[in-house]
Chain A
Amino acid sequence: MAYRKETIWGWGRWQRRPAFLDRPEWPGEIRPARYLQDFPRILPRGLGRSYGDQAMNTEGLLVLTTRLKRFLSWDSQAGVLHAEAGASLDRVLSFAVPRGFFLPVTPGTRFVSLAGAVAFDVHGKNQHAEGNFGNHVLGFTLLLPSGERTWCSPEENPELFRATIAGMGLTGIILDVKVRLRPIQSSLVKVQYKPFQSLEEARDIFLSGDQEFPFTVAWLDPGLEKGVATLGRFAAKEEAGSDPLPVHGPPRLRIPFQTPAILLNRLFMSLFYKLYYRMQAGKGTRLERYEKFFYPLDGIEDWNKLYGKPGFTQYQFVVPMESGVEVIRRVKAVLRGKGCRPCLAVLKLFGEDGAGILSFPKKGFTLAVDLPVKKRLPEALDEADRIILQAGGRLYLAKDARAEPEVVKAMYPGLEEWLAIKRRYDPEGRLSSDLSRRLEIC
């Protein structure tokens, strides 16, 4: 059998590794027995939006799911869509929005596959109200290394269901996913902008009880103190005007080649100042298209090429409410002390834990920062890790490119339970990624 050889990058463009790839056209073409004759380990890969080595498998095989994007069934009453694993959220929205449905939970980019959304149990701006993606998944077909296909749901094979959500592709290859969509009257979003001068003020905005606005996020400037909070909710039919359900279009701009890293800094800064301007421009609330509110960076295809040669890393963590503000300040001090300045920082509120054993969110605040790769960045982040661990927080493995195994193991006490399940269904450890090996998980 012939495989393609290519250099694979994480979205942060920090690590670049050689890889062998297969890209099946149909789910039936994924035959683990055949792959395992040629490679010791396999790993599924979707649209490659994870930042580090999550979807890399050096000296193993990557099975691309990008051709598996077909819709298998649609219940227009219940809003339940069953589709092949590689269908992107972009494709789902193009279909669902005109029919009056939206994703109940969406990350900050549409270019993620359904299986990818499950594999990292992604979250959005409404985690405190709606949980994560996995909370809205009714089930999925998992292909085990033995070649057996199993349907996993909260009722059938529940332990495999909980191990695969946030399981980073390490329990098997997801072939198709059934998800319940949310009915909407309009796809336009009513947005309110609230500036703040300190993290305490931001916290108060989050906790003030946003009954009207289920979507909240705070954009921080590089000083990690001041910023703008945006609160949103879908518009009601009466508010939406004559065209209530406009769909997004394709990206308008494309970055054709890698540019000097400084340009991304400028892009982020300009995005941030645009927010300030919008906030200044009108008090009260405004109506916006959903792609502007949920997917600000998707309008520029390949924007990560602006990361330049050294690349960036995203660092995201969650920390309990009580110590949240203090931890963020200490992390900022550590970064500053080692010459690392974040160029974009986003703060969100988390409610409960996710449905997966290894789900990232827990009650508290989550901060995600984009950091250009600098000489002392690794040691700065190692120190930051320990501050976060001590405060009872943890890192988001979907963004990680460099954390140490012992730290991560301490942050995820569920790993023991998860490993026991993994070993039952993959006793020979055939599913493994560069990340799982780096973190000494499997």
Chain B
Amino acid sequence: MAGALAEGLAARGSGLALASRRPEELEHLASDLRIRFGVQARTYRFDALDFPSHQAFLAEVLDDFPELEGAVLAFGYMGDEEESWKNAGAARRVIDANLTGAVSILVPLADYFEKRGEGFLCVISSVAGDRGRKKNMTYGAAKAGLSVYTQGLLQRMAPTKVKVVLVKPGFVDTPMTFPLGKLPFLVPPEKAARDILKAVEKGKSGIYTPWIWRWIMLAIRMVPDKIFKKMKF
């Protein structure tokens, strides 16, 4: 999905700093965007779990892009839920990759934007954070934390012109969902990216993509524990 977001941004003429654990492979995306959209695109190494490296990482990006206008946090790791039940280390890894790692980079990033006074911070959370269920409780817990943190950022940035956008996707057709077979309301990453970029443009504080998940999760949240704990999904 991050790839589709990068493409959408490049189509609008944005230069991009792309970061992942494997910058060599990210180079393919960078060259694709340079060729097809004529924008600047550079790659960096970023590992959510390598907390000490985050400050230096941001410094390097800001060195190349001193006028950084926006950031999209689109990394996530679902892990194997049953493994997370048996192995505390595996569970901690899920929490760290999705929440601790996100907070760790958001601290210096939010600081930069607060000082700058304008721009946008887009955080990709998940509907899984709206209610805990056994099939993805560890991932959901991390995403729930990320959602609350981002809500805090929204309030913190209110006095500035910095847009904070909290995105909660439902099922998007990515490697995360590919092995799971048929899923309800599955959308291609390009569709999710379109919704997200529209929200950033309009300065919306939060969206579900596709929109129907707002109502699905509302209904799910309203089910009392007594009944929900007996449900199968």
A residues sitting closer than 8 Å to B (CB atoms) are: 2-6, 21-28, 70-74, 84, 95
Contacts and interface: CB of A to CB of B under 8 A. Distances in A.
18 contacts: A3-B179, A4-B179, A6-B181, A23-B175, A24-B175, A25-B3, A26-B22, A26-B25, A27-B25, A27-B28, A28-B22, A28-B24, A70-B31, A70-B32, A72-B35, A73-B31, A73-B35, A74-B35
B179 A2 contact: yes
Contacts of B25: 26-28
B215 interface: no
B23 to A, nearest CB: 12
B181 A84 contact: no
B233 interface: no
A22 B24 CA distance: 22
Contacts of B175: 23-25
Contacts, number: 42
Given A71-B36, A73-B35, A26 B179 contact: no
Contacts of B181: 4-6
A71 B29 CA distance: 8
Contacts of B174: 25
Give the dominant DSSP class at B's interface. helix
Nearest to A95: B36
A5 B24 CA distance: 30
Given A26-B22, A28-B22, A95-B36, A72 B28 contact: yes
Interface in B26-85: 28-29, 31-32, 35-36
Contacts of A27: 25, 28
Contacts of B29: 70
Interface residues of B, number: 16
B33 to A, nearest CB: 9
The winner among A24, A74, A95 for most chain B CB atoms within 10 A is A74
Nearest to B26: A26
The winner among B24, B28, B31, B181 for most chain A CB atoms within 10 A is B28
A21 B178 CA distance: 9
B22 A71 contact: no
Contacts of A74: 35
A5 B29 CA distance: 28
Contacts of B28: 26-27, 70, 72, 84
B122 to A, nearest CB: 21
A353 B172 CA distance: 45
Contacts of B32: 70-72
A21 B180 CA distance: 11
A74 B22 CA distance: 23
Contacts of A73: 31, 35
The winner among A3, A70, A95 for most chain B CB atoms within 10 A is A70
Interface string B1-25: 0010000000000000000001011
A28 B26 CA distance: 10
A243 to B, nearest CB: 21
The winner among A2, A26, A27, A28 for most chain B CB atoms within 10 A is A26
Given A26-B22, A27-B25, A95-B36, A72 B179 contact: no
Interface string B152-196: 000000000000000000000011001111000000000000000
Nearest to B30: A70
Contacts of A26: 22, 25, 28
A27 B178 CA distance: 17
Counting from the closest, the 4 A-B pairs by CB-CB distance are A2-B179, A70-B32, A26-B25, A71-B35
Nearest to A70: B32
Contacts of A4: 178-181
Contacts of A72: 28, 31-32, 35
The winner among B22, B24, B25, B179 for most chain A CB atoms within 10 A is B179
Contacts of B35: 71-74, 95
A95 B181 CA distance: 33
A26 B32 CA distance: 13
A2 B175 CA distance: 10
Given A25-B174, A72-B28, A72-B35, 8 more contacts: A4-B179, A5-B181, A6-B181, A23-B175, A27-B25, A27-B28, A70-B31, A84-B28
